Structure 1
Amino acid sequence: MGLGIEHLVELRTWRAFDVDEHGRVLAGWDETGSTQLVELSPEGEVTPLTALPGACRGRYLPGERVVVVQHDDGGNERGQLSLLRLDPAPPLPAGLADLEPLVRDPRHVHRLLDVLPGRVAYATNRRNGTDFDVLIRNLFSGEEEPVYDRGGYVDEVAIAPDSHYLAVTVPGAPALSDRLLLVDTIPEIEDEQVLPVTEADEHARHDHLFWLPGDRGLVVTTDRGRDLLGVARYELADESWSWLVTSDQHELTGWLSPDGRLLLVETNDDGVARLSLHDADTGAKRHDVRLPGAGWVSFPLPEPIWSPDSRYVALTYSSPVTPGDVLLLDAHTGQVRTLTDSAAQLGGEPLVEPTAHRVPTPDGESVPCAVYAPVGTGDGALAGSAVVLVHGGPEGQSVRVFNPVIQGLVARGHTVVVPNVRGSVGYGKRWYSADDVRKRLDSVADLAAVHDWLPSIGVDPARAALWGGSYGGYMVLAGLAFQPERWAAGVDIVGISSLVTFLRNTADYRRAHREREYGSLQHDHDFLVDASPITHVDRMRAPLFVIHGANDPRVPLSEAEQITSALRDKGVECELRVYADEGHGLAKRANRLDAYPRALDFLARYLSTRP
């Protein structure tokens, strides 16, 4: 039957957060059950750094043996910032009491943006609970300087080396659009502090911001004026744009080295990424980055990060058969060193690689899908069944990384189909905009097209279920509500049951940001009601398994409670599992070990041919 879900959830994974000029990597490792900070030497030696109650992340302070740690309480996403000083080395791993408080106010969100010598830049909503301001804290004097307080949900910030300018992105008017602003920290005229580079109504993304040497401009990943993301240069002197690297087939993302000489480029090929190094002045490719396996890397999360001296790049590597490793790229030689070996935990047991497909829809579109087909033994009573797993977002993409749920479902005997329905990123602006606001139910209709296509891959359409988290949870509930004749069961993780109550009750700082995508309570209320699964609960008949975190600030627990209550009132089986120390998803292994086996057993009861 292969590896069971318990064994798969138990697999330890690694991720890279930062790298210094000596090739030491600040990494995340979930050995203790949640992601904690460790330090990896260039030879792969491990030094545990933190032992906090929940997951954390961090960055090195340039030029010092100091780590800036971001942590929250039980997944509530109200990040707090602390310092961990490594010289002299303290007793490790450090608990919360061992950290030096830097920015602490548990009532508000503090999000680490960037680190500079002696300074830390972060965003916080403490001024009014909604808008995010950008502050730079001087670690020597303790003083804080507000450098952007014009409102909105600040996404990315890049600080020029001399700190004269900041590049900031805030949401634009169209869904998934970013407005690029320049902030002059020492303006001659106060009204000219914020200089717009792009307009609010421009339908384009602008992210991955990097300053060119001499602060003369920026390198930006953008799809302005085109369908697919590419890497562009913006010159401050004449306010001009030029393309560095583009593709007519794939979306590209770029990371500029600190010295401005090299550009690491990621090519998104249907959810699999390839990396290459380019000349940052001309965009010309120098060479491809050779990676483990067949030379492919599945989307690194966290993203690649350069060392301050531009020599090293720390990478997080995962594939369907590799749980998660840290790689160290030497940009001078082009060589990649694998610092960890997560696949060794598999003990030679094979995992399943997917095959790529395109599912036609009645309106002439084509939905990209990855299919994981069972091999070997497994439960014969589940042969021919399918689980359709939908990603969150909505502006997400299912990519070819290790997923214990997928591999656990396949090991049981299910065929797992992973679509990138309309609204997904990775396939261009037209596709990610195809579900905006009143086109929401077009993405739900893609689930029906996937269901009707299942017989072509040998699946019994009468034994097909839905599984999804966050927006994917909404899609599960919407599929069961709008297509009740198609689906035999569902698993909803932190999903939205009512778009209206979700928007009313989500964190204040997220509401306006999310209304661009879903529609506004003021102008689209009737549509939001009609597109909500709970409005059509009388049509729902498939059994449902619901998982939610009690501290979820994005999709409040009330979304799970109200759909569960409504289904139980009409006699539909609905099991709800609530985890008191979780937020938007399950970050702790102990909770995943409790929830996922129960969910898989639940599906097996309804997808099995056994009476």
Structure 2
Amino acid sequence: MGLGIEHLVELRTWRAFDVDEHGRVLAGWDETGSTQLVELSPEGRATPLTALPGACVGRYLPGERAVVVQHDDGGNERGQLSLLRLDGATPLPAGLEDLEPLVHDPRFVHRLLDVLPGRVAYATNRRNGTDFDVVIRNLFSGEEEAVYDRGGYVGEVAIAPDSHYVAVTVPGRPALSDQLVLVNTIPETEDDHVLPVTDADEDARHDHLFWLPGDRGLVVTTDRGRDLLGIARYELADDAWTWLVTSDRHELTGWLSPDGRLLLVEANDDGVARLSVHDAATGAKRHDVALPGDGWVSYPLPEPIWSPDSRHVALTYSSPVTPGDVLLLDAHTGQARALTSSAAQLGGETLVEPTAHRVPTPDGEAVPCAVYSPASGAGDPLAGSAVVLVHGGPAAQSVRVFNPIIQGLVARGHTVVVPNVRGSVGYGKRWYSADDVRKRLTSVADLAAVHDWLPEVGVDPARAALWGGSYGGYMVLAGLAFQPERWAAGVDIVGISSLVTFLRNTADYRRAHREREYGSLEHDHDFLVEVSPITHIDRMRAPLFVIHGANDPRVPLSEAEQISAALRDKGVECELLVYPDEGHGLAKRANRLDAYPRAFDFLARHLAARP
């Protein structure tokens, strides 16, 4: 038996948030139980910067020894922005009282978008609580300019160096699509203020926006006109698109260096990311990036970020056997150097690497799956059992990153199967669109195909459970409701029990954004009722374990409360854990140490082989 869940949750992990021109990295470290800011010197020496009540993120303020910090209250996701000065005047690590408030109003969301010399750009819904505006704040005068206030949810934002134009993505009409618009900050007429670059009806993603030198155009990661994401250049003067780097096998994502000369490219190879450095003018590869293990994982970790001098890239590195480290990449040589060593905490214990599989479905598709198998455990009562772990999103991907839940379940003796069902990203537009609105139950049907395939990896299908969070929690509940004969138990973390009540009660700013994916209350109400697990409560018979945060703004606590009450009323075992200081998931180590062992014991009771 390997490491237990308590030890795995206790493992400290590192994240890279920013890097300055001296090679100093602004990192996140969860030593205290939630992610706090730490500065790493180029040699790896760590200086703690914050000691806040909850998790935070940050960015360096260019040209100053200061950090812009984004923090919330108890996981409520209403981000507030503060300034932390690193000039010696502020005691470190800094508490809330030591930070200088920049943008504070706890009633609303303020999301840091970018930092520029003397300025910060952020998105806020303070105008009406629903629509997000893009605001640039002058840190010297305190003056603010709302450069975009046309409504909706703002995704990516890139400000041209001269601030004449701001590139913005907003949700398009098709699910998961983005419309790219340019905001002219000094228009001659109102018609020149917001200039659409792409059409709102175009079924395409546009993200990772970077301005070319001279503000002549943008480098964009997009799948416009093709199935897989590639990296394209958009020239303003000609209103013309040119592909820089594409692949017929993998989705690509690009990050342009500040000087516009180099392009860091990630190829998504079934949840493992391969990195290379390319010439930004031609797209030609210069060299592959040498990493300490097999690939590099970006999601759900912070993305790579260039230093202002275009020499270094700060990376967050993780793998199934590496909890999480900060690497400093020399972009000119392709060599990455580790500034931290999280694997040293394992004490020589070996974690499990997955194997890749494709699970056939009755309609001719193939579901990508990663399988984590325990060591042979003859006589182990959990040998031959399985936990199918479903990611959230649904527009997300299960990637080959360290996951204490997976490793802990395997150590207990379960085989863990991690599918990327229909609706997952990373496999092209056709796959991520295959569950939109009226096709919702196709992704649930993929769970049945995975279940029926389990004997291929030595699993007893009568001893299989579902585990998932957020949309993955919906999938757990849907599996138990629509396939009650297949599943022996379920663990639902911040999941959706009714798509109708979820859409009614989620934060106002999220509703329209999510209706593109699930369907609208106005036009699809009856369908949303039909595909909601709670509608089929009479069919549910498997025991259920539910975990939820009281401050969750995405999936309200009422979703957990109503399914738990309904199951108990019909005599089905259901345990509900509610954490008053959490939001959408468990961000604090103390709460994870309480919840996960109890969930593991619950599964062990219901999946153990009977004498």
Measured against the shorter chain, the TM-score band is over 0.9
Distance 1:399 1:89 in 2: 42
Identity value in percent: 90
Deviations 1:185-235 (A, max 9, x none): 000002220000000000000000000000000000000000000000000
- What is the correspondence of 1:547-566 to structure 2 with a 5 Å cutoff? 547-566=547-566
Deviations 1:386-444 (A, max 9, x none): 00000000000000000000000000000000000000000000000000000000000
Alpha-carbon distance change, 300 to 585 in structure 1, aligned in 2, over 3 angstroms: closer
1:330 shift after superposition: 1.2
Deviations 1:505-549 (A, max 9, x none): 000000000000000000000000000000000000000000000
SS in structure 1 of the partner of residue 203 of structure 2: coil
Deviations 1:241-268 (A, max 9, x none): 0000000000000000000000000000
SS in structure 2 of the partner of residue 382 of structure 1: coil
Structure 1 residue runs of 4 or more that deviate by more than 6 Å after TM superposition: none
Question: Structure 2-normalised TM-score?
Answer: 0.99
Distance 1:296 1:424 in 2: 19
Cα RMSD (Å): 1.0
Distance 1:155 1:334 in 2: 30
Structure 1: where are the runs of 5+ without partners? Answer: none
Distance 1:5 1:490 in 2: 18
1:335 shift after superposition: 1.9
Deviations 1:473-494 (A, max 9, x none): 0000000000000000000000
1:555 shift after superposition: 0.1
SS in structure 2 of the partner of residue 567 of structure 1: helix
1:63 shift after superposition: 1.0
CA contact (8 A) 1:378 1:411 kept: no
Q: Report the equivalent of 1:98.
A: 98
1:605 shift after superposition: 0.2
CA contact (8 A) 2:357 2:370 kept: yes
1:378 shift after superposition: 9.2
CA contact (8 A) 2:12 2:342 kept: yes
CA contact (8 A) 1:291 1:297 kept: no
Alpha-carbon distance change, 314 to 300 in structure 1, aligned in 2, over 3 angstroms: farther
1:287 shift after superposition: 0.1
CA contact (8 A) 1:377 1:413 kept: no
Alpha-carbon distance change, 563 to 297 in structure 1, aligned in 2, over 3 angstroms: closer
Deviations 1:76-130 (A, max 9, x none): 0000000000013521100000000000000000000000000000000000000
1:580 shift after superposition: 0.2
Deviates more, 1:401-410 or 1:183-192: 183-192
1:309 shift after superposition: 1.0
Alpha-carbon distance change, 377 to 18 in structure 1, aligned in 2, over 3 angstroms: farther
Deviations 1:2-38 (A, max 9, x none): 1000000000000000000000000000000000000
SS in structure 1 of the partner of residue 91 of structure 2: coil
CA contact (8 A) 2:372 2:415 kept: yes
CA contact (8 A) 1:318 1:401 kept: yes
CA contact (8 A) 2:279 2:286 kept: yes
Alpha-carbon distance change, 296 to 377 in structure 1, aligned in 2, over 3 angstroms: farther
Alpha-carbon distance change, 289 to 86 in structure 1, aligned in 2, over 3 angstroms: same
CA contact (8 A) 1:275 1:297 kept: no
Distance 1:565 1:538 in 2: 13
Q: Report the equivalent of 1:527.
A: 527
CA contact (8 A) 2:290 2:335 kept: yes
CA contact (8 A) 2:220 2:234 kept: yes
Distance 1:562 1:478 in 2: 15
Alpha-carbon distance change, 296 to 119 in structure 1, aligned in 2, over 3 angstroms: closer
1:297 shift after superposition: 4.7
CA contact (8 A) 2:81 2:101 kept: yes
Distance 2:503 2:300 in 1: 31
Distance 2:139 2:160 in 1: 18
CA contact (8 A) 2:183 2:193 kept: yes
Q: Report the equivalent of 1:361.
A: 361
SS in structure 2 of the partner of residue 153 of structure 1: coil
Distance 2:518 2:293 in 1: 40
Q: Report the equivalent of 2:538.
A: 538
Distance 2:300 2:221 in 1: 16
Distance 2:555 2:284 in 1: 44
Distance 1:75 1:297 in 2: 24
CA contact (8 A) 1:359 1:369 kept: yes
1:293 shift after superposition: 2.1
SS in structure 1 of the partner of residue 473 of structure 2: helix
Distance 2:89 2:314 in 1: 23
Alpha-carbon distance change, 587 to 194 in structure 1, aligned in 2, over 3 angstroms: same
Structure 2: where are the runs of 5+ without partners? Answer: none
CA contact (8 A) 1:300 1:316 kept: no
How many residue pairs get aligned? The number is: 610
CA contact (8 A) 2:296 2:318 kept: no
Alpha-carbon distance change, 89 to 277 in structure 1, aligned in 2, over 3 angstroms: farther
1:301 shift after superposition: 1.4
Deviates more, 1:250-259 or 1:287-296: 287-296
Distance 2:447 2:139 in 1: 52
Distance 2:594 2:244 in 1: 48
Alpha-carbon distance change, 378 to 108 in structure 1, aligned in 2, over 3 angstroms: farther
CA contact (8 A) 1:299 1:318 kept: no
1:610 shift after superposition: 4.2
Distance 1:173 1:260 in 2: 32
CA contact (8 A) 2:294 2:319 kept: no
CA contact (8 A) 2:297 2:399 kept: no
Distance 2:366 2:204 in 1: 23
1:134 shift after superposition: 0.4
CA contact (8 A) 2:291 2:335 kept: no
1:294 shift after superposition: 3.9
Alpha-carbon distance change, 59 to 377 in structure 1, aligned in 2, over 3 angstroms: farther
CA contact (8 A) 2:271 2:297 kept: no
Distance 1:532 1:200 in 2: 29
